[in-house]
Structure 1
Amino acid sequence: MADNDEKQRAAARCEQCGEIGIVERQSNGTLKPLGQPTLCDCPDGTLRILETDPGSDDLP
C-alpha cells in the first residue's frame, strides 16, 4: 500500500529549454531532479511532468 509521503519518479521537461530528465515528485508536489542538483542550466526553468498514468507501471 502506498504511503501519502511516498516519493514518485517521473519524466519531466523544462518548459524554457526543453531538456528532459527523471525527477522525484515529492508528496508536496515539488519536482527534484534525480542524481543532479538541477535538470538544466536555465535560471528559472519550470519543470512539467511529461505524462502520468497512475494505473499502470507497464512500459509500452
Structure 2
Amino acid sequence: TDLYISGSRSLPIMVEIADYIDLIWHNRDGHCYTVNYELYAEKSLWKTWQYRLQESLGLCTF
C-alpha cells in the first residue's frame, strides 16, 4: 500500500511527519521496528503451492 501526503513543507504537521519518517527510516532512536522472519514464517506446503499457482496465473498481489 502506498500513501501520498501533499502539503506545504512549512506546515507544522508536515514537518512532524517528515521528522517521523526520517526517524523510522534511519532508525535514529535505535528501536526495533521489525521482527525476524522466522517468527511469522509460513511453512505450509499448501500456501507455497497456492502462491506458486497465483504467481503463474498473474493473480498474485505480492
Please classify the TM superposition score into its range, dividing by the shorter chain length: under 0.3
Per the normalisation by structure 2, the TM-score is 0.17
Per the normalisation by structure 1, the TM-score is 0.17
- Asked which structure has the greater RCO (Cα within 8 Å, sep 6+), the reply is 1
The structure carrying a bigger helix percent of its residues is: 2
The structure carrying a bigger strand percent of its residues is: 1
